[in-house]
Chains A and B, each alone.
Chain A
Amino acid sequence: AQSVTQLDSQVPVFEEAPVELRCNYSSSVSVYLFWYVQYPNQGLQLLLKYLSGSTLVKGINGFEAEFNKSQTSFHLRKPSVHISDTAEYFCAVSENTGNQFYFGTGTSLTVIP
């Protein structure tokens, strides 16, 4: 089974500053990687995903993530955050066999005006 680690449970950042949310996973088998965002009192929506190909993945709302196989990481970045980016962010991993989907514990991003 996979484990997905999001080391930072809370990340406060000033508006227009850059941000990086870290995600590491445990397995070295082939995986698919995802970042989801959950705005307050809403469901989860997909920010971006890595299935194959280029290791730099661009998503919605100006976010991007880089897949690093040797470090088993998939960190999420944004060069300049907005107040509206305040939300909970979840990293997730799926192995390319089976139906299991593993979520990290989430990172709460708070953008400070």
Chain B
Amino acid sequence: DTAVSQTPKYLVTQMGNDKSIKCEQNLGHDTMYWYKQDSKKFLKIMFSYNNKELIINETVPNRFSPKSPDKAHLNLHINSLELGDSAVYFCASSSFYNEQFFGPGTRLTVL
């Protein structure tokens, strides 16, 4: 059973479009995260939710909006996509010690 899953795995789209990435975890964790990994492999935290409540909101354009319908799901919606949004986006959930369990990633390419 996949612990943290993301869909889609690949996303190719045009500038200006709106897209969503979905994430689900079956580990029973209360906290979930979105990370962005750029072409240099730097990992940047974007958002974190604890039991459906936003707890970390880093400096991210407001075109990015997370939504947590329940504590097992954290989706990421991106409006008006730009070239610079091209990256790999990782969802993660965390245990008591904040140990991160990662999804397989979504590679977003904006043309």
Contacts and interface: CB of A to CB of B under 8 A. Distances in A.
Interface of A: 32, 34, 36, 38, 42-46, 49, 51, 88, 90, 92, 94, 96, 99-101, 103, 105-106, 108
**Chief secondary structure at chain B's binding surface:** strand
Contact of A106 (B33, B42, B50, B94): B42
Contacts of A46: 99-101
Given A103-B43, A108-B41, A92 B105 contact: no
Interface residues of B, number: 21
**Chief secondary structure at chain A's binding surface:** strand
Contacts of B102: 36, 43-45
B100 A92 contact: yes
Interface string B41-78: 11101001010000110000000000000000000000
Nearest to A44: B102
Interface string B23-34: 000000001010
Contact of A90 (B31, B43, B97): B43
Contact of A94 (B55, B56, B98): B98
Contacts of B43: 44, 90, 103, 106
Given A44-B102, A46-B99, A49-B99, A100 B56 contact: yes
B94 A101 contact: yes
A96 B94 CA distance: 13
Nearest to A93: B98
Interface in B86-102: 90, 94, 97-102
B97 A44 contact: no
A99 B48 contact: yes
18 contacts: A32-B98, A36-B100, A38-B41, A43-B102, A43-B105, A44-B102, A45-B102, A46-B99, A99-B31, A99-B50, A99-B94, A100-B56, A101-B33, A101-B45, A101-B98, A101-B100, A103-B43, A106-B43
Contacts of A103: 43, 45
B48 to A, nearest CB: 6
